Structure 1
Amino acid sequence: MRVYLLAPDLRTRGGFEAQMSALAAGLAAEGVQVFVAIREAVAPDHPYWQRMQQAGVTLSAPPAWLARLLDPPLAWRQASMRLLLALCVPLLLLAALADRLRRGRSWARSWQGAVGWLHGRFGRWLFADGLSWWLWRRLDRARRRWPPDLVDVQHSMLPGGLVYADDRGLPLIYTEYGAPDEGLASVWAGLCPVIGRADAIIGRAQASLDGLQRLCGPIPPGVVVPNAVTSAPADDALRPTHPAGPAPGPVIVTAVGRLAPEKGPDLLLAALRILHEQEMAGESPAGALRVVFAGDGPLRSGLQAQAAAWGLAPYVEFSGAFADLAPIMQRTDIVAHPTRNDGRSVSVLEAMAWAKPVVATRVGGLPELIEEGVNGLLTPPDDPAALAAALHRLAQDPDLRRRMGQAGRARFLAGDFTVAAMVKATLAVYRQIIVQKSAVGSHP
């Protein structure tokens, strides 16, 4: 079996990138010939790139210099357009004058028409999606010597991959990792027609498939193949450091993930502020609680400044990017996941694997993992007050934390959230589509 996996990028070290690279390596281990094409440049020392290389996966991504050339910043494109307009002013004036004399239109309309012609003629090149053009060229070259049995487009942020497979008439699988955001209905309107022509859809959560159906209407057959935890701790690693009771010191609340708006780290910081305001009023001992942001991202500097402005700096730690989750989880008491949108979050699965109680928002596929009051607490999205109340409840009750953590661990073990299970279920979908396509092709 030959499979193309198409992905937009490998920018970070977690979430979708971890799952896609684990899937590619796992498929290769099962004897599948896997070709992974990444739309954007990838650092050669990226751990997931190296993981796939070592597994025998064929990889393709544009070199950094070419990616910069084909996908310059928007500001550069806009400046180039302004420069082109300035250089062409004499020609545009002549064209506008000729149009006015010939057609009798107002000067303003003739000038707008000349400028519009220039935008239409050259703007489509200046603002073209050069990286998708490169991806199509690379895939066409690969197909000539290595035709695929099917193409699996691994992210909605790669519309060019969906259009390519549809345009070339290749068997198409679309994998949805999150829960499609109805606030982006206009974006999905352009994707839904192509997704509707896919041969099958894999959703990382039932919420992924339900969201697609709400946005796109009837969709192809969907199968839930959950995310996997690439490295789950053994029981020995979960033994408490202080068997006689909770460790002395503050309760550690950890948020694992990228510091980006959709992950809601600002909500966790706002919840901590609420708890400290309650402490000042004598309502809550918030000083016994410390928040750790395990991850990096564009919001980091802003969050650090906000924590300092609110007087929370002594109670907040930014650990940055990490290679090993174990030291982080070993000191964690509660995992917070205040995301604004998610499927079956890998961070929540990892918390369950480590027997940690979870406080998360009731969005996407998270209620499929967290049973309210059993292995965690669910709060409304964008509600720091509710998040603060849930954190306070767990911070004050170590026995409840222990029971919820154990329930989460049991649920994780029963669910078989392993890479092997993810690969097996994905292969079953692939084989079914290949058999169906073969039967259609052989029908007289």
Structure 2
Amino acid sequence: MFRESVAGLIDGGARVVVAIPTNGPLIDEIRSLGAEVVIAPGLVLRKALLRPSGWMRLIGETFRGLGSAWRIMSRVHPDAVYVSTITIPLWPLIARLRRTPVISHVHEAEASGSALLNRLLYSPHLLSDEVLVNSRFSQATIRHVLPNLASRAEVVLNGVVGPASPQPLRADTDGALRVLYMGRLSPRKGPDLVLSAAALLARDGLPVDVTLIGDTFPGYEWFGDQLRLQADNAPEHMSVTFAGFQPDVWSFVADTDVVVVPSRIDEPFGNTAVEAVLGLRPVVVADTSGLREAAGSYTTARMVPVDEPAAISEQLRALTESWSAVRADVEDSRAEALRRHAPESYRAAVRRHVERAVRSGSRRADAPRRRGRTR
């Protein structure tokens, strides 16, 4: 979504300078859009820093981040600051100190998490002139801990890019059912649930091929090993492919029958579910949080209780048994997803809010001068 936000601002003729704390794979894409990129080491809030053992590092990264952000602001003199995550909390403060309009775009929401932690994460954005959220669920999560911030927040649905000409669903599911998971290989995302559900089908005699797209976070390599062990112990009639991180997933979507999004805990939204719909694929989705909001309105989406592989298995079987009806519905679902999540609409909405913040900031800056002239 950050890439789409940058694209929207550049589409409007803005000079965009992107400040990020570390190097990463997104940089080349951002530069290809025409943005400038500055590496700005600083504070990135992680749970480890909020524990007593991480407090010294927290203090050090805070001071380093304040200095880095201040120097960038002095060099660039921006008309506005757009903050795309709540995990870099210093930018709203620096922008306010520099009397620069600031827009916060909240993409994170974990209603089941600590209320105190959520309040700490969201509080810096009370300083923002504009607050955007990616779903009603995110807005409700903020409202639970900071009602006054939620009252100012506006929902801007994610713009989700899909394939221009998606591969149609195959006529039938003869042979193995092809199941796809896309996302981080982490316990919270639940790829192990996909393997467990597929194993249940295979033991009942329905062949299943599972492909996992994604990789582990540093420090979670143990979970990747656990998944591979689970795959090694798969029953007969079941195969598992670990495809790793893929910058372009559409060839994998074209080769699959069903996408599964089995997250165990809250998701602020469900881009992967929308991507499945845009790719003309039915999707099985955990019935929770922003996933429900993202997928609940599509006839080709099936909602299942959280953390229940048997329910996933049942829905996969049900899809195969109603395959003709599913094939008839996927085009209508795609059309609705294109309407709701057009990237152009998302880009325009972000640009509109940034421009509104700039205009508001200009009026505030002009007010003292106007008062001075009336004296």
TM-score bracket relative to the smaller structure: 0.7 to 0.9
2:81 aligned to which of 145, 151, 158: 151
Post-superposition Cα deviations, 1:387-427, rounded to whole Å, max 9, x if no partner, equal: 22222211332123313422321211222x23322110011
Q: % of aligned pairs identical? A: 23
- Check conservation: 1:37, 1:135, Cα contact below 8 A: no
Distance in 1 between the 2:362 and 2:60 partners? 34
- Check conservation: 1:207, 1:343, Cα contact below 8 A: yes
1:421 aligned to which of 338, 345, 348: 345
Structure with bigger RCO (C-alpha 8 Å, 6+ apart): 2
Distance in 2 between the 1:55 and 1:372 partners? 33
How does 1:251-290 map onto structure 2 within 5 Å?
251-277=177-203, 279=204, 285=205, 287-290=206-209
Post-superposition Cα deviations, 1:209-232, rounded to whole Å, max 9, x if no partner, equal: 121112322215222222223343
Distance in 1 between the 2:95 and 2:112 partners? 25
Show the counterpart of 1:410. Answer: 335
Show the counterpart of 1:42. Answer: 23
Show the counterpart of 2:127. Answer: 197
Aligned length: 358
Q: Measured at CA, do residues 169 and 194 of structure 1 come closer, stay the same or move farther in structure 2, by a change above 3 Å?
A: farther
- Check conservation: 1:246, 1:398, Cα contact below 8 A: yes
Q: Measured at CA, do residues 313 and 223 of structure 1 come closer, stay the same or move farther in structure 2, by a change above 3 Å?
A: farther
Q: Measured at CA, do residues 404 and 291 of structure 1 come closer, stay the same or move farther in structure 2, by a change above 3 Å?
A: farther
1:233 aligned to which of 150, 161, 164: 164
Show the counterpart of 1:303. Answer: 227
Post-superposition Cα deviations, 1:37-75, rounded to whole Å, max 9, x if no partner, equal: 112x214xx2x211211222121115xxx89xx99xx99
Report SS of the residue matched to 2:117. helix
Q: Measured at CA, do residues 225 and 346 of structure 1 come closer, stay the same or move farther in structure 2, by a change above 3 Å?
A: same
Letter aligned with residue 161 of structure 2: T
Show the counterpart of 1:215. Answer: 145
Q: Which moved more, 1:430-439 or 1:346-355?
A: 430-439
Q: Measured at CA, do residues 167 and 124 of structure 1 come closer, stay the same or move farther in structure 2, by a change above 3 Å?
A: farther
How does 1:52-71 map onto structure 2 within 5 Å?
52-61=30-39
TM-score, length-scaled by structure 2 = 0.84
- Check conservation: 2:212, 2:242, Cα contact below 8 A: yes
- RMSD across aligned C-alpha pairs, in angstroms? 3.0
TM-score, length-scaled by structure 1 = 0.72
Report SS of the residue matched to 2:289. coil
Shift in Å at residue 269 of structure 1? 2.2
Shift in Å at residue 130 of structure 1? 4.2
Structure exhibiting the larger radius of gyration computed from Cα positions: 1
Show the counterpart of 1:386. Answer: 311
Q: Measured at CA, do residues 425 and 338 of structure 1 come closer, stay the same or move farther in structure 2, by a change above 3 Å?
A: same
Q: Measured at CA, do residues 393 and 370 of structure 1 come closer, stay the same or move farther in structure 2, by a change above 3 Å?
A: same
- Check conservation: 1:153, 1:162, Cα contact below 8 A: yes
Show the counterpart of 1:116. Answer: none
Q: What stretches of structure 1 move > 6 A for 4+ residues in a row?
A: none
- Check conservation: 1:152, 1:174, Cα contact below 8 A: yes
Report SS of the residue matched to 2:333. helix
